[in-house]
């Protein structure tokens, strides 16, 4: 049986569509806490009833979290066990709770996660795009000008980029992505994850808008957009500024052959890359 501790704040992940995606531990904890703070008590009651969880609920959402936070902290200080849940997925991931967690930790109250579903991780893991480095950008700004400015700032980001988007903005967002990112940039549209009509569609920034235009049903539901990062320069593509500086200095003092060899030894760049750069500077490098 899961032991419950007193005076502790549990951050409990809940399903993002499929009710069965609720961990045993999450259910056990929620059955035993003194209080469950949730965004929408009516919405969460449906899920909790399904699992026979009948603990008291208190509303905790973006409009009251600043005022509700001190009340929850007081309960925690009194030794009560409190759980925070979101409407769906992991609390604090584009959902309320940050001020509460920050204040609780600052007050020396133990905060512990009960991990589980999270739309961005589910989408990333199934996207087929690189997962070893990624950046989660939440919802893009609502207005097109601000959205394009945000995309502009991210265009050269080499990490995989992840966005949340709502159905009423998906087409505008895809249009703005196409205006800023190169058309061949891969994008995966993860829609209605874990639900009956889940689709995970791989496309490109240049084609994704037209794809959804042709299939109205693909414009409905909840979306995660996973965008391939900017290609990183491979070692043969060019020299970084430090490597260029070394090569320039050596070219002033030695033959091209020696300068290339020394640059490679000193900076670790490949001889081929240094040689190509040197030839280009000397006007013999052609287009490459
Ligand atoms: N806390 C949640 C999490 O852990 O993923 C995210 C909450 S955020 C307010 C809601 C957004 O998450 C939706 O608009 C959508 O972009 C994304 N999302 C949530 N559930 C999803 C699902 N089943 N399929 C695709 N996207 C989902």
Q: What is the pLDDT of residues 108-154, one digit of tens each?
A: 999 999 999 999 999 999 999 999 999 999 999 999 999 999 999 99
The atom of ligand 1 lying closest to the CA of 120 is 5
Average pLDDT over residues 150-178: 97
Average pLDDT over residues 247-256: 94
- Model confidence at 231, pLDDT cuts 50, 70, 90, reads confident
pLDDT for 285 = 53
More confident residue, 63 or 231: 63
SS3 190: strand
According to DSSP, residue 218 is labeled: G
Asked if residue 20 has pLDDT above 80, the reply is yes
CA distance 128 to 44: 33
Is the Cβ atom of 222 under 6 angstroms away from ligand 1? yes
Is the Cβ atom of 194 under 6 angstroms away from ligand 1? yes
Query: pTM value?
Result: 0.84
Contact 62, 105 (CB under 8 A): no
Is the Cβ atom of 94 under 6 angstroms away from ligand 1? yes
**Cα 274 to ligand 1 centre (Å):** 47
CA distance 48 to 14: 10
**Cα 156 to ligand 1 centre (Å):** 26
How many CB atoms lie under 10 A from the CB of residue 178? 20
CATH 3.30.950.10 for domain 120-227, yes or no, is: yes
Is the Cβ atom of 212 under 6 angstroms away from ligand 1? no
**Cα 266 to ligand 1 centre (Å):** 49
Is the Cβ atom of 190 under 6 angstroms away from ligand 1? yes
Fold agreement (9-117, 120-227)? no
Domain definitions of the chain by residue range: 9-117, 120-227, 241-283
- CATH H-level, domain 9-117: superfamily: Tetrapyrrole methylase, N-terminal domain (3.40.1010.10)
pLDDT for 268 = 86
Is the Cβ atom of 164 under 6 angstroms away from ligand 1? yes
CA distance 44 to 157: 37
CA distance 80 to 152: 47
pLDDT for 176 = 98
Average pLDDT over residues 265-288: 78
pLDDT for 5 = 82
CA distance 143 to 172: 9
Percent of the chain with pLDDT over 70: 96
């Amino acid at each position: 049986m899961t032991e419950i501790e007193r005076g502790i704040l549990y951050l409990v992940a809940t399903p993002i569509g499929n009710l069965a995606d609720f961990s045993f531990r999450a259910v056990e904890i929620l059955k035993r806490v003194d209080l469950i703070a949730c965004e929408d008590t009516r919405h969460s009651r449906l899920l909790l009833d399904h699992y026979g969880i009948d603990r008291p609920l208190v509303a905790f959402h973006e409009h009251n979290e600043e005022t509700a936070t001190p009340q929850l902290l007081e309960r925690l200080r009194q030794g009560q066990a409190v759980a925070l849940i979101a409407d769906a997925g992991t609390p604090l991931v584009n959902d309320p709770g940050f001020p509460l967690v920050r204040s609780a930790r600052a007050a020396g109250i133990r905060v512990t996660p009960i991990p589980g579903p999270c739309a961005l991780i589910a989408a990333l893991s199934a996207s087929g795009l690189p997962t070893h480095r990624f950046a989660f950008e939440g919802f893009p700004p609502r207005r097109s000008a601000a959205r394009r400015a945000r995309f502009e700032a991210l265009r050269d980001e080499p990490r995989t980029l992840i966005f949340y988007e709502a159905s009423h903005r998906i087409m505008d967002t895809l249009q703005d992505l196409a205006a800023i990112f190169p058309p061949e940039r891969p994008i995966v549209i993860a829609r209605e994850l874990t639900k009956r009509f889940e689709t995970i569609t791989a496309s490109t920034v240049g084609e994704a808008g037209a794809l959804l235009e042709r299939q109205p049903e693909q414009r409905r539901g909840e979306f995660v957009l996973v965008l391939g990062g900017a290609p990183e320069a491979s070692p043969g593509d060019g020299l970084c500024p430090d490597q260029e500086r070394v090569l320039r200095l050596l070219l002033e003092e030695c033959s091209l052959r020696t300068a290339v060899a020394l640059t490679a030894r000193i900076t670790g760049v490949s001889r081929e890359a240094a040689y190509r750069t040197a030839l280009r500077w000397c006007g013999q490098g052609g287009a490459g």
